[in-house]
Amino acid sequence: MTDIPAHLPHRYPFLLVDRVLEREAGVRVVAEKLVTNGEPYLQGHFEGRPLVPGVLLLEMLAQAGGFLEADPLHGAAIFLAGVQDARFKAPALPGDRLRLDVRAEGAFAGLMKVRGTVSCEGRELCTASLLVKRL
């Protein structure tokens, strides 16, 4: 069991990782986010038809990717530097248990590239590569 708030500085309403299932620092992370009707952003996205904004799926992958770092991210200057080849194949809905699978692709000069997949019950909802910069 990983203590998520001890590792990530994100807090309500922007902490988007609920559980870390597998973690090999620098290599691979598998985490989960459980979507509920209580999510604040679902109130307005959309009225009568709640679905998780695609950009938040990318944010979930970025936060899950934070666990690739061995040390806690509190106080670390790490920012999203790019998003590549993002595909949204199906919406994430209230009740979904989202699996966030993130793999490190490589790093050079303070930049790290990761490849992530959000899936639900074996179905891919979103795939993207993220570039993360450490200042």
What residues are labeled active site? 45
Work out which of 23, 97, 113, 134 binds another protein, going by CB under 8 A. Answer: 113
How many chain residues interact with another protein (CB under 8 A)?
A: 13
Contact map string, positions 45 to 84, toward another protein, x by CB under 8 A: ------------------------------------xx--
Our CB check for another protein shows the closer of 36 and 84 to be: 84
Amino acid (1-letter code) at residue 6: A
Our CB check for another protein shows the closer of 83 and 93 to be: 83
Which residue has 């309403």 as its token pair? Answer: 13
- Cα 28 to Cα 116: distance, rounded to the nearest angstrom: 10
Looking at residue 41, the DSSP 8-state letter turns out to be G
Look at residue 61 and give its three-state secondary structure. helix
H or E element at residue 108: strand 97-108
Residues in Cβ contact with 42 at an 8 Å cutoff, skipping those fewer than 6 apart: 50, 51, 52, 94
Stretch that binds another protein, among 35-43, 47-55, 58-66, 103-111 (CB under 8 A): 103-111
Is residue 93 a contact residue for another protein (CB under 8 A)?
Answer: no
**Site residues (CB under 8 A) for another protein?**
81-82, 105-113, 131, 133
